[in-house]
Chain A
Amino acid sequence: MSIASQLPALQIVVPLLVAPLTVLLRGSGLAWAAATAASAMAFAIAVALTLTALDGATISYDMGGWPAPYGIELRLDAFSALLLLLTTGASTLSLLGARDSIAELMGESREPLFYAAWLVALAGLCGIAITGDAFNVFVFMEISSLATYVLIAAGPDRRALTAAFKYLIMGTVGATFYLIGVGLVYMMTGTLNFADMEARLAEVDEVRPIVVAAGFITIGLALKAAIFPLHVWLPNAYSSAPNLVTVFIAACSTKVALYVLLRFDFFVFHGNLVGHAFQFSSFLAPLAVLGILVGSAVAVVESNVKRLLAYSSVAQLGYILLGASFGDVAGMTAAITLMFNHGLAKGALFLAIAALAMHTRGHTLADLSGAARQMPWTAAALVIAGASLIGIPGTAGFISKWLLLQAALQQGPLGVVAAVAVVVGSLAALAYVWRIIEPLYFGTAEGSTAGGSTAAYTATPRLLLLALWLAAGANVYFGLIPAVPVSLSELAAAELLGHLR
C-alpha cells in the first residue's frame, strides 16, 4: 500500500499525533515550529487530495479496514476538498504569523499547550470535512469545539473567558441538537453513513421522525454556523480571542458547520423528504436576507474593528445561506465559492488586524489612526482584502458576488428581492471597509512622534507580513484565475444536488 492511498487518514492523523508531541517541546519557538510544520503538512496533503478531487473522482477510505457502512468511511469529494484546502490553508497562514504575538501573550510555559490545542482543533475541523459518517462528524465537532474554546479563552483580557463560556454553552446546545437529530435518523434507518443513510431513507415509510431530525440537525448546525438570529456568540468570540486565533476560526470554523448543514440537508434529506426544498428555502432564505441586512447595518456603526468584521461575517454567512436556499446548481455553486472566497478575504483582513494590533493599543477604529504611515505594507494588504470583501473586480470577492447575483436573477421576482439584498449588503460593505481604511491612511497617529513608538513600529514580524501577503495575494490570484475554487464548487454542487435528477 503506497502512502498516497493513506492520505485521507493522514489528513487527520498528522495534526492529531503532532498535538501531544508539541506539549513535550519546551524552549522558545519549538512548539510553534512543530505546529506550523504539522499544519503545513496537512495543507500539502489537502492540496494533493484536491488535485484528485478536481478530476471529479471521489476517494473512499475505510478506517481500520472495516468496510462502509459498518466501519467509519472517510470520503473525499470536491466539497470536502475545498473545505480542507480552506481549513488547512487558514491554519497554516495564521500559525506562520503567530509566533511573536502568541509568545508575548502566553509566556513560554503555556505556549506548547496552546499550540497543542490549535492542532487538535485543526484535526477536528479536518475530520468533519473528510468523514462520511454522521456520528463521526459529531465526535470531530466536539474535538474541534473543545479545543476552540481553549483557544478563545486564551485571549488577552478576562472578557475572553465570558466569550468562551458563551460559545461553549451555545456550541454544546448546537452539538446536542445535532446528536438528537442523528439519533432519530439512526433509529429509523439503522445507519450512520451519509451515503447509506441517503439510500435507506427512501425506504422509510414513517417520515415524521425524519422531519423532526431534519429540524434538530438544521437548527443545531445553524447555531454552530452562527446563522442569524443564532449568531450572538460569534462577535464576542471573534473579538475576545487572540488575534491569530480569530484569523483561524473566522476563516473556517463556521464554514465547516455550514458544510455539514448543506451535506445533511441536500445530500441526505433533500431527495427523501417531500417539500423539503420548499421548507428549507422558505425558512432559511428570509433569515439569510435578515442576516445580511442586520449584520451589515451593525457593522456600519460598530467601532471595534474586530467586532465590525465579525458582524460582517454574519452578513457574509447570510450570502452563503441565501445562495444555498435557491436550491439549484447555480445557487449552490455560488454558495460554495462564497465559503471559500469569504474565508480568503476575512482571513486576510484579520491577519492585517493582527499585524496592526501588535503596535496599536486597542481595537477601535480610532486606535488605527494613521497606522498606514508606519505600516504601509500591512495597510496595503488590508486594502486588497477589503476590496475582496466588497467585491471589487480583480479580487476573489468579485467572482463569488457575480455567481451569487447571477443565480439570484434566475429565480424570478423573489430572486430580484434577494439580489437587492445582496447589493445593499455590498454597499454596506463598502461603507464599513471604508470606515477602517480612512482612519488608517488619513487619521493622525497619536504619539507617533515619540521615539519609543516609532521604534516599535519597525518590528512587525516578517513571517506575519509574509502570511498576510500570501493571503492578500491569494485574494487577487483567485480573483483573476478562479478556475480551481469555481470548478470544485460546481462539482460539489452537482454532487449535492445530483440525486435530485
Chain B
Amino acid sequence: MTPTFAIGLSLLLPALGAFAIAAADSRPNLRETITVLVALALAATVATLLPGVMAGERPELYLGELLPGISIAFKVEPLGMLYACLASGLWIVNSIYSIGYMRGNSEKHQTRFYVCFAIALAAVMGIAFAENLVTLFLFYEILTLSTYPLVAHKGDSNTIASARVYLGILLATSVGLLLPAIIWTYSVADTVSFVPGGILTGSLTGPGVGLLLALFVFGIGKAAVMPVHRWLPAAMVAPTPVSALLHAVAVVKAGVFTVTKVILYIFGTGLLAQEPSSNWLIFASAFTILAASIVALRQQNLKRMLAYSTIGQLSYVIMAAAVLTPLAKIGASIHMVAHAFGKITLFFAAGAIYTASKKTELNQLRGIGTQMPWTMAAFTIGALSMIGVPPTGGFVSKWFILAGAFQSDNYVAIFTIIVSTALNAAYFLPIIFAAWFAKPDPQLKSHGEAPTAIVVALSITALATLGLFFFNQPVLDLERALMDQ
C-alpha cells in the first residue's frame, strides 16, 4: 500500500463504513460487526503510515484546487500522525464499549448513532492529515455537524437545548472568528499551507500577531479555552460513548491539535517568541486551567465534573504549546495522548456505572467499589493520571511540561501546574476514597458489574494509561521527528 493510497483509504474507510452501517440497519449484529471491522481496518491503515513518517517521510495526497492557490490536499506530519493513531486506535475500543453501552441501556436510533460516529471519524482523519487551513476547516465543520445528532441523541427538550448550545458555540466561533483568521492569514501570507517554522514570519508583526492568535485560539472553539468552553459541559447530554471518544478524545483533541498546529506551522515558534503581543495565551490558558478546576470542584454530576476536568486538561496542552520550548512541545503532544487514555477510561467508568446502576451523581457513588471493582479500579487509574501521579501516563506529560516551563523560567506556567495538580487531587481523591472505603447506603439494592464489553473496553484503556508510563518511547520518537523537521 503506497502512503498516498493509505491517506485516501483512511478518509474513505469510515465514510464508506457509514454507508455500510446504514445499509445494515435492520440487522444489529451485522451493523456492529461492520463498525468494529471498519475501526480495525482504519487503525491498520493509519498504522502503515507510521514507519515512514517516523523516518522523515511526509506522504501527500492532492485532491483538487478549490480557489486559485487554495487546494484540498493532505500531508502527514508527526503531530497529525499522533492524533490519527490516537483517534483510530481508541475507536476500536470505543466501538466495543458502544456495543455494550447501547445494548445495555436499550438506546433508540442505534443505527444513526453508529453512522454519525463513522462520519465523525472520517472528519477526524481529514483534520489530522490536512495539508492546509482550508482543508482542515472543511473537516472541522463536518466534525461539528456530524457530532450534533450524537449530542442530541436523546431528543427530549432538555437535550435539544444543550445540543443547541453545542452547535451554536462551535459553529458561531468557527464562522465568526476562525474563518476571518484563515482569510487574514491568506491575505498576508498568500498561502494557507502548514509549513514547519510558520508562514507568517516577515509578513505580520506587532499587535496584529496577538490579535490573529486570539482569532485562532477562540475561533477554534473545540479547544475550549474559556470563555468558549460552555459547549463541552452541554455536550455531556450525549450517550457516554460519545462523551468518551468524542468529547474526551476526538473532538476536543481536534481543537488542541489545531491550535498546536497553528502555533507550530502557521505562526512558528520563532515569531511568537519575538512578539510580546502573543504572551496573553499563557495567561488565558492558565486562567482556564485554574477556573475549570475550581468549577469542577463544585460539580455534583459525574459527567459534568469530568467535562470541566477536560476543559482544564485541554488548556494544559495549549499552555505547553505556548511555552514554546522544545521540552514543553514534547509535553504538549504526550499530554494529548495521556489525557486521551486517562479521560476515556474515566468516561468509560462513568458509563459503566450508569449502565449497571443508573447512577449519575457523585454522592451516589459511596461504596460502589465493592460492587464494581473492575470499573472503579480503572476509574482510580484514570483519576491518578489526571492528577499526574506515577505510574500513569499523566505523570510523564506533566514532567515534560514542567521541565519545559523551567527551561524558559516561565513562573506563571509552573505556578499554574502546581496549583492545578492540587485542585485535581482535591476533586478526584474524595470520590475514589468514598467509592472504596465508605459504607454504601444499606437500602440500595446491589447491581454488580457492568456488561462484559464495557469492562473489557475500560480495562484496555486503563492498562494503556499505565502502559504509557513505562512504554512512552514510540511517542517520544514521533516527537523527535516533529522537532527535527
Cα distance, A399 to B142, chains bound together (Å): 16
Q: Which of B157-184 contact A (CB under 8 A)?
A: 160, 164, 167-168, 171-172, 175-176, 179-180, 183-184
B66 near A438 (CB under 8 angstroms)?
no
Q: Does A109 contact B (CB under 8 A)?
A: no
Residues of chain B with a CB closer than 8 A to A427's CB: 172, 175-176
Choose among A390, A393, A423, A424 the residue that contacts B138 (Cβ–Cβ < 8 A).
Answer: A393
B187 near A409 (CB under 8 angstroms)?
yes
Residues of chain A with a CB closer than 8 A to B183's CB: 402, 405-406, 409
Count, A-B residue pairs, CB within 8 A: 65
Q: Which of A437-495 contact B (CB under 8 A)?
A: 438, 442, 480-483, 486
Q: Does A410 contact B (CB under 8 A)?
A: yes
B141 near A482 (CB under 8 angstroms)?
no
Residues of chain A with a CB closer than 8 A to B176's CB: 423-424, 426-427
Q: Does A357 contact B (CB under 8 A)?
A: no
A394 near B175 (CB under 8 angstroms)?
no
Cα distance, A391 to B152, chains bound together (Å): 23
Q: Does B327 contact A (CB under 8 A)?
A: no
Tell me the minimal C-beta distance from A355 to chain B in angstroms.
22
Tell me the minimal C-beta distance from B297 to chain A in angstroms.
34
Q: Does B263 contact A (CB under 8 A)?
A: no
Given A393-B137, A427-B176, decide whether A402 and B142 contact each other with a Cβ distance below 8 A. Answer: no
Cα distance, A406 to B171, chains bound together (Å): 20
Q: Does B134 contact A (CB under 8 A)?
A: yes
Q: Which of A417-443 contact B (CB under 8 A)?
A: 419, 423-424, 426-427, 430, 434, 438, 442
A403 near B164 (CB under 8 angstroms)?
no
Q: Which of A389-405 contact B (CB under 8 A)?
A: 390-394, 399, 401-403, 405
B64 near A393 (CB under 8 angstroms)?
no
Given A399-B67, A409-B184, decide whether A393 and B160 contact each other with a Cβ distance below 8 A. Answer: no
Q: Does B155 contact A (CB under 8 A)?
A: yes
A391 near B67 (CB under 8 angstroms)?
no
B134 near A410 (CB under 8 angstroms)?
no
Tell me the minimal C-beta distance from A385 to chain B in angstroms.
14
Q: Which of B115-155 contact A (CB under 8 A)?
A: 134, 137-138, 141-142, 145, 152, 155
Q: Does B354 contact A (CB under 8 A)?
A: no
Residues of chain B with a CB closer than 8 A to A394's CB: 138, 141-142
Cα distance, A403 to B152, chains bound together (Å): 34
Cα distance, A250 to B478, chains bound together (Å): 55
B175 near A442 (CB under 8 angstroms)?
no
Given A409-B184, A442-B160, decide whether A390 and B66 contact each other with a Cβ distance below 8 A. Answer: no
Q: Which of A330-344 contact B (CB under 8 A)?
A: none
A406 near B141 (CB under 8 angstroms)?
no
Residues of chain B with a CB closer than 8 A to A392's CB: 141, 145, 171, 175
- Chain A residue nearest to B65 (CB atoms) is A483
Q: Does B374 contact A (CB under 8 A)?
A: no
Number of residues of chain A lying within 8 A (CB) of chain B: 28
Contact with B along A343-364 (1 / 0, CB 8 A): 0000000000000000000000
Cα distance, A427 to B72, chains bound together (Å): 25
A486 near B67 (CB under 8 angstroms)?
yes
Residues of chain B with a CB closer than 8 A to A438's CB: 160, 164
Tell me the minimal C-beta distance from B208 to chain A in angstroms.
11
B187 near A406 (CB under 8 angstroms)?
yes
Tell me the minimal C-beta distance from A146 to chain B in angstroms.
40
Given A393-B137, A393-B138, A430-B171, decide whether A402 and B67 contact each other with a Cβ distance below 8 A. Answer: yes
B66 near A430 (CB under 8 angstroms)?
no
Cα distance, A392 to B184, chains bound together (Å): 18
Q: Does B469 contact A (CB under 8 A)?
A: no
Q: Does B399 contact A (CB under 8 A)?
A: no
Residues of chain B with a CB closer than 8 A to A387's CB: 145
Residues of chain A with a CB closer than 8 A to B287's CB: none
B67 near A401 (CB under 8 angstroms)?
no
Residues of chain A with a CB closer than 8 A to B406's CB: none
Of B67, B142, B145, B184, chain A has the most CB atoms within 10 Å of the CB of B67
Cα distance, A426 to B67, chains bound together (Å): 21
Cα distance, A399 to B137, chains bound together (Å): 13
- Chain B residue nearest to A429 (CB atoms) is B175
Cα distance, A423 to B65, chains bound together (Å): 25
Cα distance, A448 to B176, chains bound together (Å): 38
Cα distance, A481 to B187, chains bound together (Å): 22
Cα distance, A427 to B171, chains bound together (Å): 9
Tell me the minimal C-beta distance from B108 to chain A in angstroms.
13
B180 near A405 (CB under 8 angstroms)?
yes
Given A393-B134, A393-B137, A406-B183, decide whether A481 and B160 contact each other with a Cβ distance below 8 A. Answer: no
Residues of chain A with a CB closer than 8 A to B155's CB: 442
Cα distance, A394 to B155, chains bound together (Å): 27
Residues of chain B with a CB closer than 8 A to A401's CB: 179
Tell me the minimal C-beta distance from A433 to chain B in angstroms.
10
- Chain A residue nearest to B155 (CB atoms) is A442
Cα distance, A423 to B179, chains bound together (Å): 9
Tell me the minimal C-beta distance from B238 to chain A in angstroms.
15
Residues of chain A with a CB closer than 8 A to B187's CB: 406, 409-410
Given A394-B138, A438-B160, A482-B67, decide whether A426 and B175 contact each other with a Cβ distance below 8 A. Answer: yes
Cα distance, A317 to B30, chains bound together (Å): 51
- Chain A residue nearest to B186 (CB atoms) is A406
Tell me the minimal C-beta distance from B131 to chain A in angstroms.
15
Contact with B along A95-121 (1 / 0, CB 8 A): 000000000000000000000000000
Given A393-B137, A393-B141, A434-B168, decide whether A480 and B179 contact each other with a Cβ distance below 8 A. Answer: no
Given A409-B187, A442-B152, decide whether A403 and B160 contact each other with a Cβ distance below 8 A. Answer: no
B66 near A482 (CB under 8 angstroms)?
yes
- Chain B residue nearest to A410 (CB atoms) is B187
Of A393, A399, A401, A406, chain B has the most CB atoms within 10 Å of the CB of A393
Cα distance, A178 to B338, chains bound together (Å): 69
Residues of chain B with a CB closer than 8 A to A426's CB: 175-176, 179
Residues of chain B with a CB closer than 8 A to A393's CB: 134, 137-138, 141
Residues of chain A with a CB closer than 8 A to B167's CB: 434
Cα distance, A486 to B70, chains bound together (Å): 13
Of B134, B164, B180, B184, chain A has the most CB atoms within 10 Å of the CB of B180
Given A403-B67, A442-B152, A442-B160, decide whether A390 and B184 contact each other with a Cβ distance below 8 A. Answer: no
- 28 examples of A-B residue contacts, CB within 8 angstroms: A387-B145, A390-B175, A392-B171, A393-B134, A394-B138, A394-B142, A399-B67, A401-B179, A402-B179, A405-B179, A406-B187, A409-B183, A409-B187, A423-B180, A424-B176, A426-B176, A426-B179, A427-B175, A430-B168, A430-B175, A434-B167, A434-B168, A438-B160, A438-B164, A442-B155, A442-B160, A480-B64, A481-B64
Per CB-CB distance, the 10 closest pairs between chain A and chain B, nearest first, are A393-B138, A405-B183, A409-B187, A442-B160, A427-B176, A426-B175, A406-B183, A423-B176, A392-B141, A393-B137
Q: A402-B67, A434-B167, A434-B168 are in contact. List 6 more A-B contacts (CB 8 A).
A: A387-B145, A391-B175, A392-B145, A402-B183, A427-B172, A482-B67
